[in-house]
A and B are shown apart, each in its own frame.
Chain A
């Protein structure tokens, strides 16, 4: 199973195995990873599952679609490497993915 690492702003780090086919958001919510709220439940409608993706991984992910970019506009402190974790589908290729959660989601 692909391993995903979630890092909080405090530096707290948690690596968990996430089933292929789940999203990075679902992996976090099902494993009680703090810092990802996912209020809308994965509908790309709230921007509270916002994460920063480590540079080397960011470019390996499928391109950010307009709808996601529109929501990232509203996220807390968006950066160039911002993604909504509900839009990142876990695959074998993403084994080792590292994401950082923002200071807060709202």
Chain B
């Protein structure tokens, strides 16, 4: 069991800045996120898109913002628990017990939910028997490419993942790349290389087609793809790789007895606490009158939540508001060398 002052659910920009606000008050936090890295929507949905409304930063990309936030919280040596989702929580003597999908257990007086719109999951194929073959013949990511050696692979998608894996797997297997229009959004140089391979007969590209059905019994034998006019062709297939990006799912949070409003959690704006003592919600996932889904609002919400977290984690200490410019305590926590 990991004991800490605050468990933060979500390593997006708002979760990261909450680490900072807690850290300068001397509180330790542990951060859990279902993705394999920090940044949340910033890193997953728009890493290269410029953001123009972070106070004091005229322009930065989602990736730059994430890097800067990570830099800013470096002094606090925070533990991140990636590829894990919070599965259940329960209350024990004024303390929250948090259990993750990898059976890690945390004990903490405070939980800050900075979960955005939910945890990211791959967008799945929608044809009816796709679920039956998932993990067996259908994959949404590649963990071991040796599995595909000398096999017939049908890859769906038009982005970098689809293009990169087409190129990579074409070296060891028989690849068909299928995309719903003739324009690809992946890197042009990758596409050019694939087109060269197509000329040499090493890769097959089918554009303006979408998956219509899967044929097979215990394993997939072939797939049918269809164009806009309804013309259908069959492709012998051993494995399907599908790269249609990620979707966001709220997951078990909805079962925690929190006051929900649609897919958001109601909080009071004094300390961003939910209807459960010691559980806070900040960023896109919280709602209150006038709420704006902006990163900058999430920063403010985290700052206020951190004060209440302090009171709960240090019931015998008096909370004192301090400025980073003048507080020796804060500067020590930040590792600032004072003269």
* Given known A41-B284, A45-B41, A46-B45, contact A78–B180 (CB-CB < 8 A): yes
**B244 A73 Cβ-Cβ under 8 A:** yes
Please report the C-alpha to C-alpha distance between residue A41 and residue B41 in the assembled complex, in whole angstroms.
12
Please report the C-alpha to C-alpha distance between residue A73 and residue B186 in the assembled complex, in whole angstroms.
12
Quick one: which of A39, A41, A43, A48 has the most chain B CB within 10 A? Answer: A39
**A43 B46 Cβ-Cβ under 8 A:** yes
Please report the C-alpha to C-alpha distance between residue A46 and residue B121 in the assembled complex, in whole angstroms.
12
Chain A residue contacts of B49, Cβ below 8 A: 45
Task: Indicate whether A70 reaches chain B with its CB closer than 8 angstroms.
Answer: yes
Chain B residue contacts of A78, Cβ below 8 A: 180, 210
Q: Is the interface of A mostly helix, strand, loop or mixed?
A: loop
B131 nearest CB across to chain A (Å): 14
Considering only residues 53-79 of chain A, those with a C-beta below 8 Å from chain B are 66, 69-70, 73-74, 76-79
Please tell me the size bucket of the interface on A. 20 to 34
A104 nearest CB across to chain B (Å): 8
Closest to B208 in A: A80
Considering only residues 16-71 of chain A, those with a C-beta below 8 Å from chain B are 39-41, 43, 45-48, 66, 69-70
* Given known A69-B183, A73-B180, A80-B228, contact A43–B45 (CB-CB < 8 A): yes
**A69 B181 Cβ-Cβ under 8 A:** yes
* Given known A46-B247, A69-B181, contact A40–B123 (CB-CB < 8 A): no
Which listed residue (B46, B117, B123) contacts A74, Cβ 8 A? B123
Please report the C-alpha to C-alpha distance between residue A43 and residue B52 in the assembled complex, in whole angstroms.
13
* Given known A73-B185, A74-B123, contact A48–B45 (CB-CB < 8 A): no
Chain A residue contacts of B293, Cβ below 8 A: 41
Task: Indicate whether A15 reaches chain B with its CB closer than 8 angstroms.
Answer: no
Closest to B292 in A: A41
Tally of B interface residues using CB under 8 Å: 25
Which listed residue (A45, A73, A79) contacts B158, Cβ 8 A? A73
**A45 B45 Cβ-Cβ under 8 A:** yes
**B284 A73 Cβ-Cβ under 8 A:** no
**A39 B157 Cβ-Cβ under 8 A:** no
Which listed residue (A40, A70, A73, A77) contacts B117, Cβ 8 A? A40
* Given known A39-B248, A40-B41, A80-B228, contact A73–B123 (CB-CB < 8 A): no
Task: Indicate whether B26 reaches chain A with its CB closer than 8 angstroms.
Answer: no
Which listed residue (A45, A48, A77) contacts B46, Cβ 8 A? A45
Task: Indicate whether A106 reaches chain B with its CB closer than 8 angstroms.
Answer: yes
Known: A46-B45, A74-B244, A78-B180. 13 other contacts (CB 8 A): A39-B117, A39-B118, A41-B293, A47-B245, A48-B247, A66-B185, A70-B158, A73-B157, A73-B244, A74-B123, A78-B210, A80-B228, A106-B123
CB pairs A–B below 8 angstroms (11 shown): A39-B117, A40-B117, A45-B45, A45-B46, A48-B247, A69-B181, A70-B159, A70-B185, A73-B181, A76-B126, A78-B210
The interface of chain A, by Cβ under 8 A from chain B, is: 39-41, 43, 45-48, 66, 69-70, 73-74, 76-80, 104, 106
